[in-house]
Structure 1
Amino acid sequence: MPDIIILSGYRSDWLEIKRIEQASEDLGYSHQIFSVEDIGWALLNPIKSYKKDSAIINRIGLMSQVNYIQPMITFNGYELFNNPSVTNICDNKTLTTACFEAAGIQSTPTIWIPITNHPRLKVREIRKSIVDTIESQFEYPVVIKPTGGGRGWKVTFLKNREELDEYLFNDERILANPWGLYVQQYKSHIADIRVVVGKKKGSPLEIFAALFRIPMKECIVANTSQGNPSVKFEISDRIKSFSFKMCQSVLDGATKLDGVKDRGILLGIDILVNSDDIDLRNNIRDLGNQLKSSEEFKLTHMKKRFKVDFEDKDKKFHSDMDRYMNLEIYHEIKELLIDGTSKANLFASEANATIDFGDLTHVFSEGKVARGIVECAVSNLE
């Protein structure tokens, strides 16, 4: 029996780690957790004491650390999950978009803007170049995010030039991001869906979870890792087929990078649903009871995870339900999500190899996703 090694970091989710631990035990595997912050880059020494057929599950969640860790692990003959080629595609939004385009998948219009921090370039020149590039390609509003970011960090909806200037001036880390900026034409949508898709090596793709994510009115970011509530739903054949196509495009891209034709994989697939036929401005309280329990869970979870008191977050969660955006009216789009009978367009948003599985546990209490992580990781050893 292989051993399960879980790599964690300061951005890891304690609940997520616990779920993977429990799944490992349920499946009969011994396991151990190594934290990058606790033992630094001496990390490889204790791992070397494990068998070569150990499954190493990457839950670090920080792209820069992952990029250092991957060669250390793979050069020493260990199998890292998700595979480095898969993670490189999913953590770099430009590569994800390239995979979608190669597969003919409809996605929102996107450009990538590299950031050149040359000492002879003044900061104002860099900012001006970014603004000019965006305005030459798109009309406002736009959505801007760091290319190598995750979990909703610095994802911002910009309505005009003033807001773009403010975005670029207010945070020095934006221009220090070596991966550049990923900019999309804003696409009006009525649903933001996260579908967890994966496969064991030698097996077909399957759905592990489906989540209807709910952002606040003040922010388009729907990431549950930021405390946003979510609703479970039964997936339609249309969305299932679209999710499989997106996941397969990432698999095909990874094969082009490393030549591996079959592997275990587990991804969080993001889909935007657009339709002009449905008005979602009413009956927001239909979800009241379900959202309230989700809010209480998330408040507790956020405080424990980040060890800080989110007073502003408390006020947001316990305010009137009308503060939520209109796309939370789950019952009004039930036909669209389940039956697929409405006229709808599905747009690929992104595929994320470091999906925050722990934030799904209040919806999927059976831990199916965590079990899928372990099973798909172990399948790569066969």
Structure 2
Amino acid sequence: MPRWIDSLHPLIERVTAFLKRYPGLVALFGFVSGLASFLLVDRQAGLAKVIAVVMLVSWLWLALGHTLYRWLERRFGLRLPPPLLHYATQMIHQESLFFILPFFFITTSWNTGQAAFTGVLGLAALVSIVDPIYYRGLATRRWLYLAFHSLTLFAVLLTALPIILQLDTAQSYRWALGIALLLALPSLAALTGTGWRRWLLAPLLLVALAGAGWLARLWVPPATLWLNQVAIAHEVRERAPTERLRRVSVERLNAEGLYAYTAISAPRGLSERIQHVWRLSGKEVDRITLSIQGGREAGYRAWTHKRNFPPDPRGRWQVQVVTEAGQLIGVVRFVVE
């Protein structure tokens, strides 16, 4: 065994003791790094990318798991104590969840089903820092631990991929869902028994989870897109609305039409296609597509002008701002009298 390996063992023991004594510092570091990345998405895109890459590398290390540990022991004779491995896994969960929470809190439409998804992430973050719940209630139940693990990775990818690769929201969702399910496949196989049943049931379960994940996208906030400004107006001048209407008369509506104005924040370099969905009493009336570019601190300003309305346009209207994948960014409401 190399001499430098022997010198690592005392260091590993000290690190293990430190993590056991101060578990809250890991969660605090994760939250601070996530908040910093969120604030720096527009101002210092390079640093935000570095933070996001670090999160993905840590997840790669976690995905390799026992394969990496066995290789280190076989190649270098370095045996990592189980408590350290457990704390390392918990640390990555804590850092990941507190890294993504600032993004999801700001992008969630709290009066929609998105509140449930973000609420689950917040609950998961709380579980990750409460040792009795994490080790006794979660880690001992393999199926629950698998779901926790996959959910965290899925949310991290939704946040990191647009920042690192400038993938739009629809592409990021597909990649995040696919990668999370792929890395969960070995655990799924273990859950489905042994022999021929494993090879039959594991792919079926994977397909079912993929379908459920895609249908659930309407409840998932677009982690890197949020509304800075939204308004309904009869006119837009110098790239700004002249007014912010809550009530509109039928006469002015038919004579001038309406503008739906939005200013959307997105990471620098991100090109996204969004839609303004006009609804009357919950029923879709029109859907207008437009493109935005990320990088503006005040948000990318864009608007659509609608002139064609139903013969009787009276009632409660709303304009939903959604991604091409159908994820809700925000909504503005008004009444035609």
Query: Which TM-score tier does this pair reach, normalised by the shorter chain?
Result: under 0.3
Indicate the structure (1 or 2) with the bigger Cα radius of gyration: 2
**TM-score (normalised: structure 2):** 0.24
Q: Which has the higher helix share?
A: 2
Query: Which has the bigger relative contact order, CA under 8 A and spacing at least 6?
Result: 1
TM-score (norm 1): 0.22
